[in-house]
Homo-oligomer: A and B are copies of this chain.
């Protein structure tokens, strides 16, 4: 096209794609280019605004490394990550929610009933429930990956003072589909706001806080993998999660208790519990693989 104009540019882009382009790639790029071009035309984007957007992306590249991915963070605070989670959830299974950047591989294998709290400061919480299929049948041998912040709002890996794999575990559900562990109550925290994402938040008067949560990945043979989070019902940031991760079905009451005697017997620290603690009941419902 030797006369690319406002009217012909999008079609020129589409015509450039060769006939043997993968159908899904062609469809996604067609939709992307059409909408991106429409955004520029309709808003009358100026050169300065275009440069500013590119500068934010360049800065995101500069600040990203193996431990920090500012592009994922942009996706998170723009609601993109959550929307991808939502549209890829099944209506009859547990809703998925953001993976976040703090998952690591290699967490230690622990048995049902294990204690993750150890020497960690903070409120004791006993978390348990079952992994079920959408008909309510227990799934034996489902694998759970569990990770969460310490009481200071930091994950091991972020925080030199925590042992490697602190508050991280890998557990396999028992014959009744049960999982169970004791841990410390996670804390609200801020997403990193010292980079271009922080600039975006500041420009729109937004705070970087997330409500506290427990992270889980639940997998089982024949079922769709589930990445999700569970939130306490009394968290102050429940209505204003910076990354849009909260779903009503993922909010759980932290039930205050003073008597450990009716806790399951396979809870490792059952006999050592003194004073107030909290109980969280949460079942994971996995959908069959398509």
Contacts and interface: CB of A to CB of B under 8 A. Distances in A.
A139 to B, nearest CB: 21
Given A1-B239, A58-B71, A244-B9, A37 B80 contact: yes
A254 B75 CA distance: 48
Interface string A139-171: 000000000000000000000000000000000
A190 to B, nearest CB: 15
Given A17-B206, A54-B75, A83-B40, A2 B246 contact: yes
A13 to B, nearest CB: 5
Interface residues on A, range: 35 or more
Nearest to A27: B43
A22 B246 CA distance: 28
Nearest to A239: B2
B80 A40 contact: yes
A25 B17 CA distance: 33
Interface string A32-47: 1101111111111111
Contact of A4 (B1, B21, B244): B244
Nearest to A28: B43
A158 B246 CA distance: 50
A132 interface: no
Interface string A191-206: 0000000000001111
B206 A78 contact: no
Nearest to A56: B71
A29 B204 contact: yes
B84 A205 contact: no
Nearest 8 pairs of A and B residues by beta carbon: A61-B61, A18-B205, A3-B248, A57-B71, A17-B204, A50-B84, A13-B79, A4-B244
